Amino acid sequence: MDSATAPDYERLYVARATSRGGRDDRVVSDDGALDVALKAPPELGGTGGASNPEQLMAAAYAACFHSALTLVASRQGVDPEADVQAEVALLKRNRADDYRIALAVRAHMPNVDRATAERVVGQAFDECPYTTAFRENTEINVQVT
């Protein structure tokens, strides 16, 4: 399997992970650095007590967005200290197998004024690779605050 590439882009890194058992077993990266037990949450009829795909996606999105935020802030001479929280919601309509996700990302930059934080967060939104990928899918709505 080879991940897709975009024209004019150089491939810098490829991550691979394998799921065994879907929501109720494990997901493991090819280098073994990530090895996570998975359990469906009680809200989805599972037992909980372990991570789930939505939590993993929220963690990945928060980390990626935070990196973009730090990069943008540093380029502008703005204090990059921030907390970034990502939310991934699993949505379902009343039809069988009609699932979607909704994403929200919230950044708090305690050492800068609101206008500066909004400008930096907005530019990070434009530069974050995850946000770009999600924005290109019209089925996914991303909310940024």
Topology at the third CATH level for domain 1-51: N-terminal domain of TfIIb (2.20.25)
d(CA 65, CA 143): 13
Q: How many CB atoms lie within 10 A of CB 44?
A: 13
**pLDDT per position as a tens digit, 59-83:** 999 999 999 999 999 999 999 999 9
pLDDT, tens only, 7-61: 788 989 999 999 988 889 999 999 999 999 999 999 999 999 999 999 999 999 9
> What does the pLDDT look like over 99-134, one tens digit per residue?
888 889 999 999 999 999 999 999 999 999 998 888
- Two tokens at 129? 């690779």
Q: Determine the residue type at 49.
A: G
CATH top-level class of 52-144:
alpha beta
Domain boundaries, the chain: 1-51, 52-144
Give the helix ranges, DSSP H, for the chain. Answer: 53-75, 114-127, 129-135
pLDDT, mean of residues 79-103:
90
